[in-house]
Structure 1
Amino acid sequence: MSRAQLLLIDDHTLFRTGLRLLLADSPSVASIVEAGSVMEAVQDHGDKAVDILLLDIQMPGLNGIEGIKVLRRHFARAPILIVSGTSGVETIPPEARKDIAGFLPKSADPREIEEAIACCLAGATYFPSESPCGCLPQAPVYEPSQLTPRQLEVLSQLNLGRSNKVIAYHLGLSENTVRVHVAAILDHLGVVSRVEAILEAQRRGLVQAQR
């Protein structure tokens, strides 16, 4: 299978940057174009050949759910893979759900992201909560996502004030992978900076304040 042209639609620049870095050497993805909203995607990329769309649910203006049918009109052949840091697939109405190829939490690890993209490009659907392999013939219900054990480890490292490079060293990960995890953590906590993430995580009791 030839490598795909991917359109990433998400209003969080940090998440888009992290995913671009993660997929830089992906065997499935040839190039990535980005948009911060559904309308920007249509206006800037509606005339381009796109093989798959990654679409965030919660965005200002026209959100991901409302935007599914709009995108389907402009990118009729491209499967749509929904990504979300807070919502589950059960929040997507049935009439919109039939137009998506899969659902992935932003807390997913790099292997899951690669697998989801490959599955959707192959014509299958990806709903990992219902099957160990993720690929399914039809869409099941997906439970709301939580931070993964690995992301809790990264969050604990952030709480110690460590940089991505130092976190990567301590956890045996690449810096790119750490960036993706940090982006997912920020999105999950609803914040835009590492400092805010630490404060919010402390407020929720996910980590303890350092003395």
Structure 2
Amino acid sequence: MAPLKPSWKQPSHPDVQQVVVSGADFMTKSLSKVTVPPFGLFVKLEFPPCTLANEPTYATVQMGKDEHLNLNSDLLYINHSCEPSLHFDMRNMKIVAGPKGLKPGDELTFFYPSTEWSMAQPFECFCGKPTCKKIITGAKDMPSQLLDGLWLNDHIHELLDEQELLQHHGSLAENGGLGLLRRGITSRELSGEMGGDTIAKA
């Protein structure tokens, strides 16, 4: 991410996050300063500093079907990865460690389509992970096989279900009622691993 002119006091999360600023576009990154167990709490999303956004931008995070959030903090410098170290759990307004947990020095990343339904600026991913999706768009425009098995927020699952239902009705009209509806794992099922007993203790 290119350096921004922050409106917030920096560093905003000095106990948990180190921002490594780069002069190159989209190369600023964040590193963990803490150890967090798998699915343990990294940080809560609180108001303030968060505010509701009037419209989505490249600097907002989607928190519902039609709701978007300004992070107003260094959390904005958490980049995308196809195998992320963090999950933005927007239903519970918290950021949690991924299935491998976190240790100091790990890069802080999340899977953008896990929160974003539509993105104005799709981009080529250079995360280098074995499961890299190559081109990152909002979940709306990604092939279903690229999202299968990944942790997604509830609002993304709901929008995918609505999209699939519309496609299903179209296929029913075309083939005389022989269309089949696929149902994948929901974020509620996957987030069962993220209950209160997994919260990291200070």
**TM-score higher than 0.5:** no
Greater strand proportion: 2
Larger Rg: 2
- State the structure with bigger RCO (CA 8 A, min sep 6), 1 or 2: 2
Indicate the structure with greater helix content: 1
What range describes the TM-score normalised by the shorter chain of this pair? under 0.3
